[in-house]
Amino acid sequence: MQRFHQLLWRQTASVMVSKAALEAAATHFALGSPGYSQPDFCSKIYRRTQTKDSGLHRHCEGMSKVGDPEAVDQSTSIDASYKVDEASSDGSGKGPALIPGSKIIDRQQPVSVGVNRGNWAQVGFHMCTSVAGPALLGLPYAMSLLGWPAGAVVLLLGFFVTMYTSYIMASLHQWDGTPHIRYRDLAQSIYGTWRGKAIVWPCQWANLIGSNISIFIQAGLSVKGLDMLSSSTGTARLSLTEWIAIMGGIAMLFTQLPTFHSLRYINGFSMLSTYTFAICSMVISLYQGYKYKDLLEGPDFGKTYQVSSPEPTKLFDILTGIVIISFAFGNTIIPECQATAKQPAENTMYKAIGVLYTLLACTYIPISFIGYWAYGSALLNNGSFLPTFQANVPSVQGTDGGPHPRWLIMWVLAQTLLNAFIGITLYNQPVLEIIETSLIYTKSRDVWNFRNWLLRTCLRCFYVFLCAFVAALFPYFGDILGVIGALGVTPIDFILPCCFHLTVRKPKGWLRWVDIAIIFVYGCVGVLGTVSSIRSIVVDASTYSVFANL
């Protein structure tokens, strides 16, 4: 009995156990043990799971009025194996109920997500970190592929459409009365198990894995820039490939954080870091764009605001610019972020989305316009405009031999590097949760025993190694952003939320046509953008070599 008590308490502290499971536990077992009375223990579980309307709450209230619970046969034997009751795992999303002899793990709930614990600010931290990442640095480059009018329209359209679809996703969290804490769970509840998985998994995994790859590239570029600026010769002491390898080794330590919820304060720091490097980047762009205006517009750099791509490739470049902007606003883990929200989860999430889009309005839009104004077509083709701070004005040297303002450039690079590590850790969590739940936690009743810990550590390190290896193999930042935007973000963030909305809510009138228009426009963008981005990678690969030292 004490073993059952310990196991129940451990699981309710780490996962969201279904109400039926808690009611069955309170009803069928005597939970008293040394140091706990049954009412006290039930009250503790009630506070941890916040099931105010559950039978457990009523049961606890009843016991507090009556006093001691009815005597229960203490000799009742409980199966030591605590096997999972598979009979109720019918794909409904509710998971197996706890019955005598069953294990208190709901397979529909991930072990590596702290469920229903975060307030609106903490959920906002998760949301901001999941969006405000390396794509921010690719926005001026995307503007240079589109020009002023088209770039401004696409940028503002992406901002407002993703805000609209984010609110749709938040409103569907419990559309059928059951919380859906992963994107694929929500899709399965609407379209069925197989169709839901087939729709979501390829797109979400393309985004999550691709985002990690792009962040590794950005981290390598940032630390290489720091290396160059701190060197007396002005040249990097290590190649980009070597720096990415080092960043991969450090990221293996960051990715060992156990749960999504455990990142809340780190993600809060990441949000402040995003503000910092965005504001500093705007200051540098304004400084260099104003002070070195004549030099940038001269023959050495040829800065213009015209789309300068050759006619055969202009269409492809325009499509690449559109999908880069789409990726910049993409957040393919909204349900996973909402899973950490305190009840009522919808209201908490609405406030968190407000935090996110306030951040984006203060960073993404200004940095896009200011960065493009400062450098125009002189932006480097690798997609991130941070190296442009250093490379685009090589003849304008300060007395210390570096580009101006050198100290501020180094600060921005350091903030970008720190933000990259946090972003890698965040984007790892949903992928690793799937792998670990499937391969590790189902094989032992103790999820934190030594065997599971060792397998978990090895799997996480191997996954980080693969992402870092691909980043070093193809370090083409802008092209990678384009592919991710077309394959991953466009379906998940633009198309599927509107499809869910049409299926579940069945809106009428103009709102219905808004959903249909978004699906059609971004469906075309996704298909054409995929072709364009893959073509760009092929062209760059023929120009550079694998493991290129950009």
Read off the pLDDT of residues 412-440 as tens digits, 9 standing for 90 and up.
Answer: 888 888 888 877 877 787 788 777 777 76
Angle ∠(297,298,302) on CA atoms, nearest 5: 65
- Indicate the pLDDT class of residue 244, thresholds 50, 70 and 90: very high
Q: How many other CB atoms are there within 10 angstroms of residue 517's CB atom?
A: 12
82, 135: one domain: no
As a whole number of angstroms, the distance between CA 531 and CA 509 comes to: 34
226, 148: one domain: yes
- Indicate the pLDDT class of residue 151, thresholds 50, 70 and 90: very high
As a whole number of angstroms, the distance between CA 334 and CA 318 comes to: 28
Q: Which helix (H) or strand (E) holds 437?
A: helix 406-439
Residue 432: what pLDDT? 82
Residue 226 has pLDDT above 60, yes or no: yes
Residue with the bigger pLDDT between 42 and 483: it is: 483
As a whole number of angstroms, the distance between CA 79 and CA 516 comes to: 54
The answer to whether residue 464 is domain-embedded is: yes
The answer to whether residue 473 is domain-embedded is: yes
Residue 233: what pLDDT? 76
Average pLDDT over residues 228-237: 79
Residues in the chain: 550
Residue 43 has pLDDT above 50, yes or no: no
Give alpha helix (H) positions in 255-330. Answer: 264-291, 293-297, 311-328
Residue 240 has pLDDT above 80, yes or no: yes
* Sequence-ordered list of residues with C-beta below 8 angstroms from that of 135, at least 6 positions apart, any chain: 214, 324, 327, 328, 330, 481
- Indicate the pLDDT class of residue 81, thresholds 50, 70 and 90: very low
104, 152: one domain: no
pLDDT in tens, 258-303: 666 666 677 777 778 777 878 888 888 888 888 878 777 777 666 7
Residue 503 has pLDDT above 70, yes or no: yes
As a whole number of angstroms, the distance between CA 135 and CA 476 comes to: 13
The answer to whether residue 550 is domain-embedded is: no
* Sequence-ordered list of residues with C-beta below 8 angstroms from that of 153, at least 6 positions apart, any chain: none
Does the reported pTM lie above 0.75?
Answer: no
Exposed, middle or buried by CB within 10 Å (0-12, 13-18, 19+), for 353? buried
The angle, 0 to 180 degrees and rounded to 10, between the axes of the packed helices 477-484 and 193-230 is 160
Q: What is the mean pLDDT of the chain?
A: 73
- Indicate the pLDDT class of residue 315, thresholds 50, 70 and 90: confident
53, 174: one domain: no
The answer to whether residue 548 is domain-embedded is: no
143, 80: one domain: no
Which one of 77, 109, 141 terminates a domain?
109
Angle ∠(108,114,117) on CA atoms, nearest 5: 120
96, 165: one domain: no
Residue 23: what pLDDT? 44
Residue 96 has pLDDT above 60, yes or no: no
Range of the domain at 220: 120-543
Max Cα–Cα distance, the chain, nearest Å? 91
- Indicate the pLDDT class of residue 545, thresholds 50, 70 and 90: confident
79, 205: one domain: no
Lowest mean pLDDT among 181-195, 291-305, 430-444, 509-523: 430-444
* Sequence-ordered list of residues with C-beta below 8 angstroms from that of 519, at least 6 positions apart, any chain: 494, 495, 498, 499
Residue 68 has pLDDT above 80, yes or no: no
Residue 294: what pLDDT? 78
Taking Cα atoms as reference points, which of 364, 368, 328, 263 lies closest to residue 485?
328
Residue 486: what pLDDT? 80
59, 126: one domain: no
pLDDT in tens, 202-216: 888 888 888 888 889
Which one of 62, 82, 109 terminates a domain?
109
Average pLDDT over residues 349-375: 89
Residue 384: what pLDDT? 60
Which one of 90, 109, 128 terminates a domain?
109
240, 302: one domain: yes
Residue 156: what pLDDT? 94
488, 393: one domain: yes
Lowest mean pLDDT among 83-92, 234-243, 260-269: 83-92
Q: Which of the listed ranges 16-25, 308-317, 399-408, 491-500 does the model predict with the highest average pLDDT?
A: 491-500
Average pLDDT over residues 448-465: 85
The answer to whether residue 115 is domain-embedded is: no
Exposed, middle or buried by CB within 10 Å (0-12, 13-18, 19+), for 475? buried
Residue 489: what pLDDT? 81
Residue 279: what pLDDT? 85
Lowest mean pLDDT among 112-126, 347-361, 409-423: 112-126
Number of separate domains in the chain: 2
The answer to whether residue 515 is domain-embedded is: yes
Residue 407 has pLDDT above 60, yes or no: yes
Residue 40 has pLDDT above 70, yes or no: no
pLDDT over 70, % of the chain: 68
DSSP per residue over 227-252, as a string?
A: HHHHSTTSS-SS-HHHHHHHHHHHHH
The answer to whether residue 157 is domain-embedded is: yes
The answer to whether residue 376 is domain-embedded is: yes
133, 88: one domain: no
Q: Is the dihedral of CA 389, 393, 394, 396 positive or negative?
A: negative
